Amino acid sequence: MVIVHHLNNSRSQRVLWLLEELGLQYEVKPYQRDPKTMLAPPELRAVHPLGKSPVITDGDLTLAESGAIVEYLATRYGAGRLMPAADAPERWRYTYWLHFAEGSAMPPLLMKLIFDRLKKAPMPFFARPIARRIADQALGSFVLPNLERNLDYMEGELRRSEWFAGPQFSAADIQMSFPLEAARVRGGLDEKRPKLMAFLEKIHARPAYKRALERGGKYELLR
């Protein structure tokens, strides 16, 4: 049986969702973030040396990295569902979005989170203007332009086809859900990008998405 080492309010929510879409039996082992640092508890390092979530175990296999997990589960248990066939023209688009989510969409969203927090972090009063200046400089020169460019690009791609890999819903859409949900709460995604907003609405209405929320518990992305 697949065991999902699930950290609250985290990327592992999409692994639960994928398992629900596949209709597989699975076990959820819950872990709670430290409420101050938001880091994962040290017990997760006993499962995988990096101590991040998601991690799954399936028999002798321990696998981390959500993209690898999504690829593994869809390939091993999908029986052709949720991914285009190996010779279909959509197959490389599928692979592209599977990697894009963590490789290109998440980095500026993570930087935004860190620089926004840096501005509010407790520090001696004389350091605050310097910290703010550094954060604003990084946000203005690099982070925000990259966020905007990514959002414009993704919006344009969803004008080409209903889902990221083409006309069919796929595991790449599940992988893309997390950066888009994060962009909605902290990355400037709003009604100005109607295709991306519609994407979020459609995925949130899926019965498997709702069932995964019931299994995973409260899901609120960090801002």
Ligand X SMILES: N[C@@H](CCC(=O)N[C@@H](CS)C(=O)NCC(=O)O)C(=O)O
Cβ nearer to ligand X, comparing 56 with 189: 56
How far apart CA 87 and CA 95 sit, in angstroms, is: 13
CB contact at 8 A, 70 and 83? no
Cβ nearer to ligand X, comparing 53 with 170: 53
104 binds ligand X (CB under 6 A): no
Please give the structure tokens belonging to residue 163. Answer: 């889902």
Q: How many of the other CB atoms lie within 10 Å of CB of 148?
A: 13
Cβ nearer to ligand X, comparing 54 with 166: 54
105 binds ligand X (CB under 6 A): no
Among 81, 95, 102, 162, binds ligand X (CB under 6 A): 102
DSSP, collapsed to helix, strand or coil, labels residue 76 as helix
Closest CA to 175 of 15, 31, 28: 15
Task: Read off φ and ψ for residue 155, nearest 5 degrees.
Answer: -60, -45
Strands 61-64 and 26-31: unpaired
162 binds ligand X (CB under 6 A): no
**Smallest separation (angstroms) from ligand X to the CB of 144:** 22
Cβ nearer to ligand X, comparing 7 with 18: 7
Among 4, 18, 20, 66, binds ligand X (CB under 6 A): 66
Can you give the binding site for ligand X, defined by CB under 6 A? 7, 10-11, 39-40, 52-54, 65-66, 102
